[in-house]
């Protein structure tokens, strides 16, 4: 007699960027679907509303004219940090030379070479400040901003060590955000002017 033992709870199936590429190629997922791959879990993202779009576009308008040609400004670019991790930051700044294509065809940049990641949050504030912050810190992304699109407040995360940001500062609505990276000297973002 054969006895089959099943676990108390089903085991999740972890996906990779390669799996996601196959799903896209087969039409199971579409390029415009709002998903991220977080440590192998396929996570559906919320639709972006008016406040989110206003802040993201204001950031784009402010940054584009002042950035040198050597800086890549990714807007909702899919970023692959490891085989089971695909993120879609609202804005990403890195040296253009640090960017390359992964074997699966996604943008990849080593975390420590990323100058700044910006997430604009409405309903995802706790998620962006928690799980996503930990993922960026784990990969050595040196500076990470989370901007509350409704209140125009921000949390500036710096000094990633052992998967945590050691320096997290809440910035009020009247603050001006300035990245620490020397390559972004001269960048100033008044929160009150966003949207």
Question: Please, are residues 148 and 170 in contact by the beta-carbon 8 Å criterion?
Answer: no
Instruction: Answer whether residue 170 shows pLDDT above 70.
Output: yes
Instruction: Answer whether residue 4 shows pLDDT above 80.
Output: no
Average pLDDT, integer, range 126-144: 96
pTM value is 0.83
List Cβ neighbours of 160 (8 Å cut-off, separation of 6 or more): 136, 137, 138, 139, 140, 141, 142, 166
More confident residue, 44 or 107: 107
Question: Please, are residues 17 and 36 in contact by the beta-carbon 8 Å criterion?
Answer: no
Provide the pLDDT for residue 11: 65
What percent of the chain stands above pLDDT 90? 68
Tell me the pLDDT tens digit for each residue of 10-66: 667 777 777 777 777 888 877 777 776 777 776 777 667 788 899 999 999 999 999
Q: Which CATH number fits domain 47-193: 3.30.70.2660, 3.30.360.10, 3.90.1570.10, 2.30.130.60?
A: 3.90.1570.10
More confident residue, 182 or 9: 182
Provide the pLDDT for residue 94: 98
CA distances from 46 to 2, 59, 121, 122, 177 (A): 46, 20, 10, 10, 26
Average pLDDT, integer, range 177-187: 95
Provide the pLDDT for residue 24: 79
The overall average pLDDT reported for the chain is 89
């Amino acid at each position: 007699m054969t006895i089959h033992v099943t676990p108390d709870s089903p085991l999740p199936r972890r996906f990779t960027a390669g799996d996601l590429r196959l799903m896209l190629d087969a039409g199971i997922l579409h390029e415009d679907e709002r998903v991220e791959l977080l440590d192998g879990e396929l996570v559906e993202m919320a639709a972006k509303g008016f406040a989110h779009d206003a802040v993201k576009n204001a950031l784009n308008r402010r940054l584009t004219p002042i950035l040198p040609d050597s800086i890549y400004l990714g807007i909702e670019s899919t970023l692959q940090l490891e085989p089971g991790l695909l993120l879609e930051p609202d804005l990403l700044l890195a040296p253009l030379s640090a960017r390359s294509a992964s074997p699966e065809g996604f943008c990849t940049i080593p975390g420590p070479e990323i100058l700044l990641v910006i997430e604009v949050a409405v309903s995802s504030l706790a998620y962006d400040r928690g799980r996503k912050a930990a993922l960026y810190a784990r990969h050595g992304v040196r500076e990470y901003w989370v901007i509350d699109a409704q209140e125009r407040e921000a949390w500036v995360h710096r000094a990633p060590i052992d998967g945590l940001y050691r320096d997290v500062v809440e910035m009020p609505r009247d603050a001006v955000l300035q990245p620490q990276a020397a390559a972004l000297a001269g960048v100033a973002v008044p929160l009150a002017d966003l949207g």
